[in-house]
Amino acid sequence: MNFKKNPGLGELLRYVGELVEQGAEEHYRTMSLNYRARYTPVLRALHAGIQTVTDITASTHLTQGAISQTVGLLESDGLIARHPVNDGRKSSIQLTAAGLELVAKLEQHWVATFAAIAQLEDEISFPLREALEKTAKALEDQGFSARLTAVKNEFADEGQVNVK
């Protein structure tokens, strides 16, 4: 079997993600920004007025752990500051002056990024983001492990090789 001609889903998703991130990173360097691509969902959420890790997590497709780590990095880089809210159990996250300046530089880049994605989708004649959103929803409804178990059970019922 030629693996390159028959790549797995995870392999293709990682490869496409790497290609997108490499292109984005090249533009961050061109813009003379010391910037990590992982900052984007958090900064976009903060720019949209979202203020807590819990709310950022709810508004993205990222885990609370990933958001918390990114918030920690943003704080270390001086781009955000945390402020306790009323009951003291949560903190509000706000952009610092440096964070606001960075977001101002990135706003047009984000517009261009979404335009480039739209052009890519036109080129491949496929709504890639829509397909990925539907895929994510289907996997939230029934995880890949459950799907794999069901297929292995079907194979076993049909007398194919035991793949459990």
Give the model confidence (pLDDT) of 134-158 as tens digits. 999 999 999 999 999 999 999 888 8
Q: What is the DSSP letter of 90?
A: S
The average pLDDT across 71-83 equals 96
* Beta-bridge partners for 95: 80
Dist CA 156 CA 40 (whole Å): 45
Task: Give the pLDDT score at 2.
Answer: 59
Whole-model pTM: value is 0.83
Helix 39-47 / helix 97-124 crossing angle, nearest 10 deg: 110
Task: Give the pLDDT score at 110.
Answer: 96
Pick from 61, 36, 65, 35: nearest CA to 53: 65
Instruction: Kindly report the CATH number that applies to the domain delimited by 3-125.
Output: 1.10.10.10
Task: Give the pLDDT score at 3.
Answer: 61
Task: Give the pLDDT score at 13.
Answer: 95
The average pLDDT across 3-20 equals 90
Contact 27, 109 (CB under 8 A): yes
Task: Give the pLDDT score at 160.
Answer: 77
Dist CA 150 CA 120 (whole Å): 35
Dist CA 153 CA 89 (whole Å): 47
* Beta-bridge partners for 120: none
Q: How many CB atoms lie within 10 A of CB 93?
A: 23
Q: Domain segments of the chain: what residues?
A: 3-125, 127-164
